[in-house]
Amino acid sequence: MTVTLIWIVVALVAVGLYLSWTAGRLDRLHARIDAARAALDAQLLRRASVAQEVATSGVLDPAASIVLYEAAHAARQAEEDQREVAESELSQALRAVFAELPQVEAVREAPGGEEAARELTEGVRRVPMARRFHNDAVGAARRLREHRKVRWFRLAGHAPFPMAFEMDDEPPAALAERAA
């Protein structure tokens, strides 16, 4: 009788440790998502700020400046539920404005333009990487949250279900060529 009771207690402790370990893993994944989202937000803000700076520098033609400025401003001011659309529109505006190398060269030749072109190139290169890191963390957390043990024992607590950040982040051809 006592041997059976000991084995039951050992089994319950083992199950409890396993569930605790799984809950800790899920918590670490949620922390990783938060960190990746903060990094993504920083890269998106940096890209929009540099785009606004280039748009107001006077080196682009007026139509391109207006398109780029409005898209960058909308991306910086967008509410959370409209952020993906606004950032996609900024990507489209960047591709429209910097579709050809002469536009990039015009920015580079302006005073302080070399630095602005370098920052813009880095921004359009880093946003897809930051988005990929965020979405990878979201995917890992989603896969873990789909397990029965996580749902049955409510190991995720009250944490919201993680959502991927989907946007058009294809870089402009002229800036991508310059980065290569």
Q: Which residue has the tokens 């409890």?
A: 16
Q: Which residue has the tokens 């402009």?
A: 172
Q: Which two tokens stand for residue 1?
A: 């009788």
Residue 175: predicted pLDDT = 81
Residue 71: predicted pLDDT = 97
Query: Tell me: the pLDDT tens digits for 57-108?
Result: 988 899 999 999 999 999 999 999 999 999 999 999 999 999 888 888 888 8
In degrees and rounded to multiples of 5, residue 11 shows phi and psi of -65, -45
163/141 Cα distance (integer angstroms): 10
Query: Tell me: the pLDDT tens digits for 32-69?
Result: 999 999 999 999 999 999 999 999 998 889 999 999 99
DSSP letter, residue 33 = H
Lowest mean pLDDT among 57-71, 89-103, 131-145, 166-180: 166-180
Q: How many beta carbons lie within 10 A of that of residue 161, not counting itself?
A: 9
Look at residue 180 and tell me whether its pLDDT is greater than 70: no
Q: How confident is the model at residue 173 (pLDDT cuts 50, 70, 90)?
A: confident
